[in-house]
Amino acid sequence: MKTFLFRSMIGIFFGGFIAAAAAIALVSFGNQSTLDGQLFIKNAFGSIFCGWLFTVTPLYFEIRSLRLPMQTAMHFLTVTIVYFILGLYIGWIPLGVTHFFIYLAISVLIYAIMWVGFYLYFKNVSKKLNEDLECIE
């Protein structure tokens, strides 16, 4: 529970930072002298929720009773479905069948690249730790 709360706070703060940085970039570089207050709040809460979502859902990988394929499937489905619903509600993703399939393709591609990257990274760390343990004996 302590890990969940810690990650929740980190995600909320990171999402808030992203919302503020996006607003600053829009005003500074987007030739926007003013922002629509309601739209800013809607997008800020979306960013905060995404920050929370993306920092809490990796906890699936810490459930030792589940095998890696099940952890991955649960994480992917949770992130993809919740983000899609949020994106539709806020307006980040337009409504339509074509947009759904584009979103799904991009999600699968990005998720696969990130998953393989993390897998290879942790496999390398594990290999180094095993080599260090062999030197101790």
Q: Is residue 36, in this structure, part of any structural domain at all?
A: yes
> What pLDDT was estimated at residue 137?
64
List the structure tokens of 63. 């459930």
26 in a domain, yes or no?
A: yes
Residue 53 has pLDDT above 80, yes or no: yes
Q: Which residues form the domain of 44? A: 1-67
In a domain, 9, yes or no: yes
* pLDDT over 90 (residue 34): no
Residue 60 domain flag: yes
Q: What is the pLDDT of residue 28?
A: 86
Domain assignment present for 109: no
Whether 16 is in a domain gets the answer yes
SS3 for 32? coil
pLDDT in tens, 95-135: 999 999 999 999 999 999 999 999 999 999 999 999 888 88
**C-alpha pair distances (Å), 13 with each of 62, 82, 89, 93, 133:** 23, 19, 22, 24, 38
- pTM of this structure: 0.83
Question: Is residue 1 assigned to a domain?
Answer: yes
Q: Is residue 55 part of a domain?
A: yes
Domain count along the chain: 1
Say which residues have a Cβ less than 8 Å from residue 26's Cβ, sequence separation at least 6: 32, 35
Question: DSSP class of residue 75?
Answer: H
